[in-house]
Amino acid sequence: MTSISDNCPYKKCDGKGLIWYRDHKTNEEFMRICKCREDKSLDAKLQFARIPQEYRQSRINNFEINLYRTDEGKERAAIAKRVAANFVANYPAMKEQGKGLYFYSYQKGSGKTRLSCSIANALVKKYKADVRFIRFVDLLNELKNSFSGNGDVNASELIEAVKNIEVLVIDDLGVEKVSEWVEEVVTSILDHRLNQNLVTIITSNSTIEELDKRYQQGRVRSRVEKMTFPVWMPEESIRSLIAQQENEEIQDILFR
């Protein structure tokens, strides 16, 4: 029999995630997986996903529509929230088709990143999906560091990691300074994922059509158009409102 330890939050095993049983009639031993082991596996996947700490607890059901001030903003937020929930609910079909989402708005802080991370969290928890979040500018900086020998991994390893991950979340596509090399990096990643039918979720401050202005060879837009469904987010910033809510909660603690 397995000894019980405080290392297991469920008090079912010794903290190693395995529960051993013995059949007293046959004297045979058998093993079951403890839920704490599943939790650790899930935590490891969430760490691997590299979702920013700010959004680790983001959930689709707590995406607050009423934070938006205008009726139009609330309506778009409600549609985006419904799309996100239905995407997660129907992920097996989306995965089979290799279809992702493209969240866009001109306004910074409109909730694009928050909602995309909420989807990523849900896919890890519900489907044990392998997910990776990248801010595209950060990826480019990591690649440049690898060329100078200052990075932790070489460029080919980094590119292969984002090319082949089950679900890739690309945040802020199009805000970087575009050069021929940058466009080649974007095209290489998207082209591979399109050909391999892999799910890609993208946030941007541009419409899909406007990507041609940034990536003038035209190959980025055509691939994004094929592999994602566009979702227009509200043209309102809720980042400052969320910060205000958080500060009010802290104020209650500090001025008791």
Average pLDDT over residues 42-69: 80
40 or 78: whose pLDDT is higher? 78
Structure confidence by residue, pLDDT tens digits, 78-119: 999 999 999 999 999 999 999 999 999 999 999 999 999 999
Report strand pairing: 29-33 vs 18-22: antiparallel
Q: What is the pLDDT of residue 152?
A: 57
DSSP 88-132: HHTHHHHHHHT-EEEEE-SSTTSSHHHHHHHHHHHHHHHH---EE
pLDDT surpassing 70 at residue 144: yes
DSSP structural state of residue 6 = T
Segment (H or E) for 30: strand 29-33
Q: What is the pLDDT of residue 11?
A: 60
Contact in structure between 226 and 99 (CB atoms under 8 Å): no
Contact in structure between 199 and 116 (CB atoms under 8 Å): no
